[in-house]
Structure 1
Amino acid sequence: MKTIIFWLPLFLGVSAIAQVFGTGFEVPEIFNDPYTDTGDATVAHDLLNNTNEPFVDFAPSGSEIGFNARYEPYDTPGVGLTDGDTVGVTDSPPNNSNPFPDGLNGYEISDVDGNFILEFDPVQISSPTISIAYFVSETGYEGDGTANVSASDRLRIYVKDINSAVEYDLLDTTGNDINDLGIEGVWQTASVTIDNSPDITVQLIIEARNNSGAEAFFFDSVHFEGLLGIADISENAVVLYPNPATDFVHISASEISQASVCIYNSLGEKVLERIISHSLLNISALTSGVYFVKLTQENKTTVKKLIVK
């Protein structure tokens, strides 16, 4: 699972707040048949996408963050997802009165007969706010989630700092009967802000345990927002031309001397890095698309959007 690094294309003053990434589960193709796990339900394992079945995993695409699902059995294993269950990306909302809040699609986890762990791609960001919409169907949930057994339903949504392993809960029903929490039957939004955390790498994780089709959890509208402040070459002090460009682009600034230039694609992947002492930059190796050019000189930085034809 790759780490995604994002740069804000426009800077207002010293810093700005911008939604940099997320998913509403709108990109994956929809399949309405049940998902059937072909793995061994008695051992923990990664869940794989099956032909003509709902996507449980998804690679990042454009502005859509990727995610990966895995399964862990009860202490005394059950059938898991080998009997065919409603999990993964879906266009079927909880009910007609509660459509998905962000587009037409969402993600459902129900009747796992074990533990379903959904991990989103790590994101490198500064002082982030991470949010997600979730829906807990109204039904008779069992237990308090403290035992890894079938009659102990549980839902936890949290953010993990990859470097320090510190975890920040958005929701954790462990230790409670879900029916007592007042969270059923309506879309809820959970969020957490991690202040004073420059260049932190965070990962959103969902852990769900349930054992019937009525015990359904739905998710949508995953967003990562962060303070991407850069101090700072003024935005207006740097101009890229031509833009769109083909083989070469000129970087117009008041003075360029041993400046560092890094170019990132729309997935946040670094595709070119140069130290330049003049304004002309060869971009002939880049394919058509949208890029972000990060120019650093004398510990000051700006980021500009570049379109390559």
Structure 2
Amino acid sequence: MKKIYFLLFTLITTLSFGQSVVITGYVDSPCPSQFGRTVEIYIDGTVDLTGWSLVRQSNGGGFTSSTMDISALGTLTDTFAYITNNEAALNTEFGINTNFIVNSNINDNGDDAFQLVNNVMIIIDRFGEDHVDGTGTAWEHVDSYYYRKDGVSANGGVFLATDFTYGGNNLLDGKGLCNSSTALSADVPFGTYSPIASSSPTILVSGPLTGMNYITGTGPSPEKSFTVSGSNLTEDISINAPANFEISNTSGGTFSISLSLRQTAGSVASTTIYVRLMAGMPIAEHTGTIDLTSNGANGKSVSVTGKVFPAATNALVITGVFDANITGALTGSSPRGVELMALENIPDLSIFGVESANNGASAIGQEFTFPAVAAAKGDFFFIVGTGQETDFTNYFGAAFTANYASNAMFINGNDAIVLYENTFIIDAYGEVGIDGTGTAWDYLDGWGYRIASTGPSATFNVADWQVGNAGELEQATNSASSTPYPIKLYTNVLGISKQQLKDGFALYPNPVRGGIVSIQSKSNSVKNISIFDVVGKQVYQKTTSASQINISQLKTGIYFVKVVQDGKIATRK
């Protein structure tokens, strides 16, 4: 009988050995409302997850709250599973639509930890240190991701930051199909973990990189970044940039076309590489691939894209914002949105877009892009919250129709609105990065409207706006308000005559808006610019290589402009 018991014990331990569940990764999604924040786990062998839980530690407060039951995942074998805060985002960004559960407690903002606990309350695995806020630690992952190295097994609660690779803080800002044309799966390696460690030389990279843009004459572009790491290496990692791009391993440091990462004992720790489009590039889209190589390892590449745009036309301006309340209640306000006007003919509106910076958030990129249609000087446009088109007409009257609808327009009176041209901010209502509650520009259940002949301006000035009283639009219709929203009443009369200058010069826009005049030519050399009034008195003079000048100090009127560059002279009214 003793022999039978011994054999039974051996059988049980054999079945248990090799069966495990590990936390393999997490993505701190950059999507609106942080939809798509997700924990990935891997089930090695066959495991019944009934009674198991995933526990989040928030801001170093310990694993005492936010316990998530993952029993619904059932019994799984040699596969990945996901706990996410948004099913649609997980499917859109990663194509994952099986083996997942949704839980709103997946809300780690880059400094939180997770641990897996089995059905008898034993800690199986952990990411992050108990009672430690991740801010400033080796495992911080704000607006980024972390991912377990192959062959690293469950740690039983003894966490080592070196068991994971990291995308680098803010790597995912502006990325994802929710913000761009590239899914988060291009950067986040979900579904790639292997429980068996590889002995082959390996290079790991994130990417691709886009948005390295600038306006002609203002380069180089802002920096973008990717991460690289290596294991089982026999040589250093060589990194070579394509034509027109340059790289550095230090933000704001010295940039070059190549660099090398030294391996130590076969490893290169996760390293952030900064990339930018060189200054002086022609107006065009520039693309290429950064190549990473090391002897014996499969080479990796990171695609890069940047654009050089012509000087801004400033041909569109924000003329008003409104937070109306057709129901007369303080919740569910509708319609809400923004009014804009074309200040000159626009061949293609799609170079413009808008963003709402909610509750004091920073501007990270346009959320709504206009379609590729033409607009005429003087045209007004209204963008309202999705589904609020009928409310807009009912509130403002049958003569007014919303042109477009976007989730970006679910704004409140404390939110800033940003207008982009070719991805660069040209106008704003409200101070980006500041919650408008209680400020001079607060428009809760009210409105803000631009004063005639001001704007556009990338720097918000409340003096350029009339702001209605709070609660002014808590009426059944706009006309019922004691001070109605002044819909479509904006005008702009300040102007220097628009001229296409001879000898390859162009001067615009007409009328001048926000005091900024663009002077473009085929050369980047220094220009001598003089402006005269109608009686011949010089009222402005500047020598510059910049493509724009500020003449906001000039009074309304007609002026003559003289431009001298490379021996060529252009004088026009």
Same fold (TM over 0.5): no
Higher strand content, 1 or 2? 1
Higher helix content, 1 or 2? 2
Rg comparison, structure with higher value: 2
- TM-score norm. by structure 1 comes to 0.30
- TM-score norm. by structure 2 comes to 0.19
Q: Choose between structure 1 and 2 for higher RCO, CA contacts under 8 A separated by at least 6 residues.
A: 1
